[in-house]
Chain A
Amino acid sequence: MSMLDSLRYRVRALFHPGAHARDAERELRFHLDLEAAQHEHDGDAPEDAEFAARRRLGNKTVVAEGMRRVAGLAWLDATRQDLTFALRGVRRAPGFSLVAIATLALGIGSATAIYSVIDGVLLQPLSIVHPDRVLELQWTPSTPPTDPLQLTVLPVSVPQYRRWQAQLRGFSIISASMPTHGESLGRAPSRALLSSLDTHIRQLRVSKVSANFFAFAGVGPQRGPGFAGVNDADAGRLAVLSDEQWQRLYHRDAHIIGRTIQLDGTGYEIVGVMPHGFSFPNETQVWTGLGGPDFDRLVNERTLVLTVFGRLRDGVSPEAARAELRTNFAAASAIEPVLRDYKILSPNVRKALVERASLPLMAMAICVGFLLLIAAANVTNMLLVRGMSRRHEVAVRLALGAGRARVIRQLTTESLVLAGAGAVAGLGVAWMVTRFVVDQHAIDLPRRGLIGLDASAVIVCILLAVVIGGLCGALPAASVSRDAVESALRRETARHSASVQRRRLRDALVACEVAMSVVLLAGAGLLLKSVRGLMELRPGLTAEGLLTGSIGTSLPESDTIANRAMADAIAARLRAIPGVAVASVSTTYPFGGAITFASGVQTPDVPVTDTVGRYTAIAGIDRDYFRALGVRILRGRGFTTADLGRTDVAIVNEAFAQKYFHDRDPIGQRVRIEHVSFEIVGEVESTRTSGSRSAADPATFVPLGASRIFQLGMVVRVKRGDPLRLIPSVQRAVHDAAPAANLFDLGTLSTLLAYEAAPQHAYLFLLGGFAIAALIVTAVGMYGVISYAVSQRTREIGIRIALGATPNTVRRRVAREGLGLTVAGVAAGGALSIVATRVLRSMLFGVAPGDPTVLAVVAILLAAVALLASWIPARRAAAVDPLIAIRTE
């Protein structure tokens, strides 16, 4: 029981220190009284008895203190003392404290926020069961693209998915999901316009998934049967909602199963609601069946549409499964030569996610790391400066017998109090930063739903506060107490040398701050230049006023004539809508429609055997396609009505001409694509998004009738106003022209373009925010140091003025000091930034890390800030009254 008794004693002592003190007091009083009574009994006078008793007991306070020390309360007393003292210090210098707390809040808060993001994205478990047993099956071009920034991971074709399902033995379930324009390309999953009962339109993130998807995920719906017992062919008009959308759209309607949800004008029967937190893959809000006639038509080996996941069969290792994949693919390539252009990648699903997110996260982590260092350096500096003014007080304390360790501890407590307050405010900062990152869907983060400030983030925040507070405080405290010891012993001379030493420390810290600000600003500058470069880049089309969408036809792909007739009929109806300027119906549209690649591009000067890796995007278009999009024709002509009846003419884009004709005039040349020969009649500008970093892909356009048609793309240019306004009439027109056709993915092209450029904007905003915060903190730090230096030299300055120095010379002298620090910091930071900004490389466009213009601008900016920060103290110095100055000290 000794443990228990002992524990009870300790707990009581710790949590009721007041009671402990009262008990000790009472006990000693009791002792004294008995002792006195004894003396009185022995014949002493009452006063003498009391006195004798006291003498025997000795110093009551010392005894009580001894008791407290045994009880382990002395530590608590000292801490309470330190805290009271620290709080008094904080209150006494509110300006100083506020700046220090704000600085720490920025640093600690941002770091906590980024921790939360990393925790949510990388550390939290995936919402599917046993993700370690799931491989993502991807394609990649077998010849690595010349531009390393070009997309390297491709979705998979439907025939390949079917082959894998039929042939692979190492997987228990192979499942597929279809984002209309490819989330593997780093874009959003399919968007769908939800026209619900209310009039406004909502965009939902929809994934079309195979019927076995939920069985594959190992997570069943919380309500309804889901796709259980349904085969792919029948799942095409069924939908499953996420818990979040069940709440948002239907307010948790208990009779949700069996209701109909309208997506892109088509009704889907709701057959399930997923449990809370399930949003795989990629924050899906609604899952619809992949099957149905539209899907069955995607039989082209080159139409890459699916994200495929495979769950390993029990007892099969990932290596064994990968080996089987390789053998299988080699065998398939022997039969299907098209496949030779691809290789298989099969990363673990979690690894695939992490890889996609690791770069932006690393960039963010580096930014906040720098911000945190700047904040810490700054607060250290402020405390150093403040410590100087407390040198006297510390010297007195030491002289009165306080141990140096005790003084350091006390001074450190003060910085811990500041850091604690900074952490509390930092949680607010963290909340805001986290919200921003989560709301920015442009920042390509998987599983953003899991990002939030949780208990572990709060713990990280507290830890950061303790570490930063301790570090920031210990250095100045040690420095001040050492200085105080020396100055107490040796007055002036010692103080002078110590202050020189400490001034070096302060200067070094400011220079470091400047250097780190340079790195952050350089990063922001590089991104800014990239964004500007991307903005100036002609997208190759006029995006404003365009409405685009995909149309699933219900006709067999082989029936080109019927398909073309349908496309023409739809186009005619669209043109008849009032307010439509130009309408085109082709096989695709830029940035959204299905992408079809063809390989084996042969030009007259290339031998037949050497066509591997020579690919082009290929699309069948009508007469108005380029006119509707606003694409410029650079050479030759667009298709005439006569061309549309032919199957041997083609128009290529600039990228095609550059790659295969080396910029020579391609007009009139013949080109063979997959053994079909075309005469090139025109060259058009390449279209690319203002956000895409990569060079445009080579593209070939053939008349609609010469192309296989399995899906149509619609481009409608409105005369004026918001294109979305026309959605109801467009839906009606398509329905009237082809009742069996299925219109989906309706939206403006501007939205798609903005979506492409959004990541740079979001990163710019985030990095810019961090950089501005760093700049402000650095400016404050520099101001603090220089104004302190001025205040220390008031006397010297006064003498100078008295001896005839003009205010101008004084100002210049002071300002020069700040500039000296800046120059040193900028030089170091410039060198560091060349290395550090390399992590941003993949987000840069038209500018390289270490860009001289960017560095020059950053240097000038920092010099300007430094000048401003030293100008105020310089002015104060110039205004010094020599008489007062000489009298001080």
Chain B
Amino acid sequence: MAARVTKPESQSDILPGTLEMLILKTLTIGPMHGYSIAQHIARLSKDVLRVEQGSLYPALERVQKKGWATSRWRASPTGRQARYYTITAAGRKHLGETSTAYQRAALAIARVMRRA
């Protein structure tokens, strides 16, 4: 069954595709649940990048669908069951590719901005 969803999945402050990259990067630290992924991104970006839950969870579904991450329910430190996401080998590979491309683009933008 092929479900083609053409509508934009969400409106995000973050550039499309970047959220997945940030999620994957965060997951390289270790398995994490959705809330801590959001916390992590917010903390590292000094609250500049606020991940809306409305974008986060669909994005988590998306990375699973692509096979970049898997999820499992297990006990969190408080004892409650939480859904932990783990990055897969394919996810790491994708992360490598996108971060290289991202850095190249960011560098290029920076150069243009400096000259102009």
Contacts and interface: CB of A to CB of B under 8 A. Distances in A.
Please say whether chains A and B are actual partners in one complex: yes
A70 B88 contact: no
A56 B80 CA distance: 22
B53 interface: yes
Contact of B35 (A5, A23, A35, A69): A35
B104 interface: no
Given A63-B53, A69-B5, A73-B3, A9 B65 contact: yes
Interface in A51-72: 56-59, 62-63, 66-67, 69-72
Contact of A67 (B2, B7, B61, B76): B61
Contacts of A3: 67
B83 A66 contact: no
Contact of A63 (B57, B68, B70, B82): B57
Contact of B90 (A5, A9, A14, A63): A5
Contacts of A674: none
A43 to B, nearest CB: 18
Interface string A1-37: 1111111111000100000000110111011011100
B90 A71 contact: no
A72 B67 CA distance: 15
A70 B61 contact: yes
B81 A26 contact: yes
A539 B10 CA distance: 86
A69 B58 contact: yes
Interface residues of B, number: 34
Most buried by A among B61, B76, B80: B61
Given A2-B88, A58-B54, A70 B67 contact: no
Contact of B34 (A1, A4, A31, A72): A31
B76 to A, nearest CB: 8
B1 A75 contact: yes
A8 B9 CA distance: 22
A129 interface: no
Interface string A170-198: 00000000000000000000000000000
Contacts of A7: 67
A72 B1 contact: yes
A6 B53 contact: no
B43 interface: no
B83 A30 contact: yes
Most buried by A among B3, B54, B57, B58: B3
A71 B57 contact: no
Contacts of B64: 5-6, 9
Contacts of B35: 30-31, 34-35
A657 to B, nearest CB: 77
A241 B38 CA distance: 80
B51 to A, nearest CB: 10
A396 interface: no
B83 A70 contact: no
Contact of A70 (B33, B34, B62, B89): B62
A30 B53 contact: no
Contacts of B76: 30
A1 B3 CA distance: 22
A69 B9 contact: yes
A50 to B, nearest CB: 15
A9 B65 CA distance: 6
Contact of B67 (A6, A27, A73): A6
Interface string B78-110: 001111000011110000000000000000000
Contacts of A740: none
Interface string A59-92: 1001100110111111110000000000000000
A493 B9 CA distance: 41
Chain B binding surface SS class: mixed
A30 B58 contact: no
B50 to A, nearest CB: 9
A6 B57 contact: no
Contacts of A14: 1
A31 B76 CA distance: 12
Contacts of A28: 53, 57
Given A28-B57, A66-B58, A74-B3, A1 B65 contact: no
Contacts of A31: 34-35, 53, 57
B52 interface: yes
B67 A62 contact: no
A7 B82 CA distance: 23
Contact of B65 (A57, A63, A70, A74): A70
B89 A1 contact: yes
Contact of A2 (B7, B33, B68, B82): B68
Contacts of A73: 3
Most buried by A among B9, B54, B80: B54
Most buried by B among A30, A66, A71: A66
Contacts of A27: 33-34, 57, 82-83
B66 interface: yes
A71 to B, nearest CB: 5
A367 to B, nearest CB: 38
A14 B1 CA distance: 8
Contact of B57 (A4, A66, A75, A76): A66
B38 to A, nearest CB: 8
Given A26-B81, A56-B53, A71-B61, A5 B5 contact: no
A26 B83 contact: yes
Contacts of A70: 5, 9, 58, 61-62, 65
Interface in B1-28: 1-3, 5, 7, 9-10
Contacts of A30: 33-35, 76, 80-83
Contact of B5 (A34, A35, A63, A74): A74
B56 to A, nearest CB: 9
A2 B66 contact: yes
Contacts of A9: 64-65, 67, 70
A75 B3 contact: yes
A66 B10 contact: yes
A6 B63 CA distance: 9
Contacts of A59: 54
Contacts of B58: 63, 66-67, 69-70
B67 A4 contact: yes
A7 B80 CA distance: 28
B26 to A, nearest CB: 15
Given A31-B35, A70-B58, A1 B90 contact: yes
A23 B34 CA distance: 12
Contacts of A23: 73, 83
Given A31-B34, A72-B1, A72-B3, A57 B83 contact: no
Nearest to A75: B3
B66 A6 contact: yes
Contacts of B89: 1-2
Nearest to B60: A67
Nearest to B3: A72
Nearest to B5: A69
Nearest to B76: A30
A69 B55 CA distance: 12
Interface string A114-151: 00000000000000000000000000000000000000
A28 B61 CA distance: 13
Contacts of B10: 66
Contacts of B7: 69
A50 B60 CA distance: 24
30 contacts: A1-B67, A1-B88, A2-B88, A2-B89, A5-B67, A6-B66, A9-B70, A14-B1, A26-B81, A27-B33, A27-B82, A30-B80, A30-B81, A31-B34, A31-B57, A33-B80, A56-B53, A57-B54, A58-B53, A63-B57, A66-B54, A66-B57, A67-B58, A69-B9, A70-B62, A70-B65, A72-B3, A72-B5, A74-B5, A76-B1
Given A31-B53, A58-B53, 13 more contacts: A1-B88, A5-B70, A5-B90, A8-B70, A23-B83, A27-B82, A31-B35, A58-B54, A59-B54, A63-B57, A67-B61, A69-B7, A72-B65
- CB-CB nearest 6 A-B residue pairs: A2-B90, A2-B67, A72-B3, A6-B67, A70-B61, A66-B58
